[in-house]
A and B are shown apart, each in its own frame.
Chain A
Amino acid sequence: MKIVYFAWVRERVGKTEEIVTPPDDVRTVAELAGWLKGRGEEYAHAFAEPDIVRAAIDRRHVKPDAPIAGAGEIAFFPPMTGG
């Protein structure tokens, strides 16, 4: 499963993308964020406030309860500040 990170989530994790293999009981975006959070200090920092971090699956915004099964690319990023 490919994960990509942007802005301060990317800076805190220390990488732009990675391939991960979460366990089978990780089924939703929120569960994936929770699992990532346990992978080390940098992840704990990035996902310290999980309600703030947004997600997209295959380049579409999704809510925390969205299932990750079949996802090609999952993105985590802060609230957007474009425009």
Chain B
Amino acid sequence: MADIRVQSADFDVAAEVAAVQAGGDAGARETGPHDIGAIVTFTGVCRNDGGRLVALELEHYPGMAEEEIARVAAEAERRWPLKGLCVIHRYGLIRPGENIVLVVTASAHRQAAFEAASFLMDYLKTRAPFWKKEHLADGTSGGWVAPRQEDDEATTRWD
């Protein structure tokens, strides 16, 4: 059911929300359309980091990126009663202000949608095979972004 995409192109948040809603309607054979009561979206955006950053270069592991996101999405669907789920993760050169990642979760009630979106982002951060390299305003490379311990801790809270 989950719609998972790994792409270099940008995405349109409103269009993806509409697609999740339409997909939920199409899948709701027993209850009829419009049984989605809550849609949560998370958009991860490239920040300029106080003006020092001109771009992030996102490297990924083709094949595994899609498969790992699908495994995390399947776990989210096992844990919460979702009626729609979309994850889009971009790769390539991304500039401040541009989108990096989108998670859309839909459910009958808000709590499942909120929690599933939070779970997905925590797991994507630590398990999806993507790596960020910084390009700095002075023309040099800032090197590879180091993992944050808070991200690991955020993931373990779902254990």
Contact = CB atoms under 8 A, between A and B. Distances in A.
A51 to B, nearest CB: 13
Given A6-B61, A7-B131, A59 B67 contact: yes
Interface residues of A, number: 16
A22 to B, nearest CB: 22
A6 B63 CA distance: 13
A59 B125 contact: no
Interface stretch (B11-19, B23-31, B76-84, B144-152): B144-152
Interface of B: 44, 58-61, 63-64, 67-68, 89, 100-101, 121, 124-133, 143-147, 151
Interface of A: 4, 6-8, 56, 59-61, 75, 77-83
A82 B130 contact: yes
Nearest to B103: A83
Contacts of A60: 64, 67-68
B59 to A, nearest CB: 6
Contacts of B146: 79, 81
A15 B61 CA distance: 14
A8 B144 contact: yes
Contacts of B128: 80, 82-83
Contacts of A56: 61, 64, 129
B95 to A, nearest CB: 17
Contacts of A82: 58, 60, 89, 101, 124-125, 128-132
Contacts of B67: 59-60
A83 B125 contact: yes
Nearest to B121: A83
A83 B59 CA distance: 12
B147 A80 contact: yes
5 shortest interchain CB distances as A-B pairs = A82-B130, A7-B131, A59-B64, A83-B125, A79-B147
Contacts of B129: 6, 56, 75, 77, 80, 82
Contacts of A77: 61, 129, 131
Contacts of B59: 6-7
A82 B132 CA distance: 7
